[in-house]
Amino acid sequence: MKRAPMWILCALAAPLLLACNSSGVDRMIDSYADVVGHMQDCGLMSEGRIADDVLRLEARDMNDMILDFNVCYFDCVATISCDTMATGVCSDDDSESTAYDRAMGACYADCIPLFTCGDGDTVTYDLVCNGDSNCDDGSDEADCPTVSTDKFDCADGGQVSVTYRCDGSLDCNDGSDEEECPEFRCATGEVISASIKCDTRADCPDMSDETDCGYDPEFKCADGSVVFVRGDCNGEIDCADGSDETGCAAISCEE
Ligand SMILES: [Ca+2]
Ligand SMILES: [Ca+2]
Ligand SMILES: [Ca+2]
Ligand SMILES: [Ca+2]
């Protein structure tokens, strides 16, 4: 049986409307759960756990527009017929997966969020900050994140934007943009760039760069040991007892 869409559940729960007034993150996770439920009903996914703490982590820095994008996308996946879904999920043949792409495209066109230009026209949000003016007044390209035109001089004579100075990744050919940067010392003594503290990736061996960051970085293995939360249902064994990978919902295609 197909799961009832969220809006039906909310309509039924009208006297308890508060319960449906969830945040964007919750809406996205609900939509994703609908996708999993639909795929399980289609026999394309095993029953099991989904790593919703990891989803929450992924959603942590998404703005409302990106959350709306994802809800639109997941809601579309959850309405696609099982046969069409199977071609999209299980076929390596590009010509077979076009049915899935077509169904997604048709659905997506109806729910993709719209951006309102300064003159009142609307464009789809994928055109915002794409480098081309799509609103007549160019407002879709205003207030976009910019890379500074000010340059940092690499030790080897090259130059990169100062935006990339001390950002945790090597941009000068000689890596000098990441030298003499603020540092963070792990509880275990290793020194890492301060820019990768609280970036939701474990860089210290003891994950101490991800503590006190406003989220729970720990996943508790069945044997009581602790691994980084992103290890949950990621397809690789992180707990010594393998419990991070047991009972996970996973794509299942008939051979
Ligand atoms: Ca644009
Ligand atoms: Ca850099
Ligand atoms: Ca980190
Ligand atoms: Ca794992």
Task: Give the residue extent of every domain in the chain.
Answer: 6-112, 114-145, 198-238
User: According to the model, what pLDDT value does residue 23 have?
Assistant: 82
With residues binned 3-state (H G I as helix, E B as strand, rest as coil), the percentages for the chain, rounded to 5, are 40, 10, 50
- Ligand nearest to the CA of residue 139, numbered in listed order: 1
186-217 in b/e burial notation, b at 16+ Cβ within 10 A?
Answer: beeeeebbebbbbebebbbeebbbbeeeeeeb
Q: How far is the CA of 110 from the centre of ligand 3 (A)?
A: 38
252: which DSSP letter?
A: -
Q: How far is the CA of 243 from the centre of ligand 4 (A)?
A: 8
Q: How far is the CA of 161 from the centre of ligand 2 (A)?
A: 9
User: According to the model, what pLDDT value does residue 145 have?
Assistant: 81
pTM for this model (two decimals) = 0.71
Give percent above pLDDT 70 in the chain: 91
CA distance to 87, 107, 190, per residue, from 4 (Å): 24, 18, 50
Q: Is 4's pLDDT higher than 70?
A: no
User: According to the model, what pLDDT value does residue 255 have?
Assistant: 63
- Taking alpha carbons only, the member of 82, 79, 91 closest to residue 43 is 82
**Angle in degrees, 0-180, between the axes of helices 94-111 and 64-77, rounded to the nearest 10:** 130
247: which DSSP letter?
A: T
- Ligand nearest to the CA of residue 195, numbered in listed order: 3
Q: How far is the CA of 2 from the centre of ligand 2 (A)?
A: 48
Q: How far is the CA of 246 from the centre of ligand 4 (A)?
A: 9
Q: What is the largest CA-CA distance in the chain?
A: 67
Q: How far is the CA of 219 from the centre of ligand 4 (A)?
A: 10
- Ligand nearest to the CA of residue 230, numbered in listed order: 4
* Residue entry with tokens 């696609």: 80
In this prediction, residues 246-251 reach a mean pLDDT of 92
Q: How far is the CA of 168 from the centre of ligand 4 (A)?
A: 25
Cβ(58)–Cβ(98) below 8 Å: no
191-193/114-116 β-pairing: unpaired
Q: How far is the CA of 190 from the centre of ligand 1 (A)?
A: 44
More confident: 62 or 191 = 191
Of the listed ranges 3-7, 159-163, 176-180, the least confidently predicted one is: 3-7
Please, how many CA atoms are within 13 Å of residue 94, restricted to the half-sphere of its CB?
0
- Ligand nearest to the CA of residue 233, numbered in listed order: 4
Q: How far is the CA of 207 from the centre of ligand 4 (A)?
A: 15
Sign of the CA dihedral running 160, 62, 135, 74: positive
> 3.30.300.90, 4.10.400.10, 3.40.1130.10, 3.40.190.10: which CATH number matches 114-145?
4.10.400.10
Q: How far is the CA of 244 from the centre of ligand 4 (A)?
A: 5
Cβ(227)–Cβ(216) below 8 Å: no
Q: How far is the CA of 165 from the centre of ligand 3 (A)?
A: 17
3-state secondary structure of 89: helix
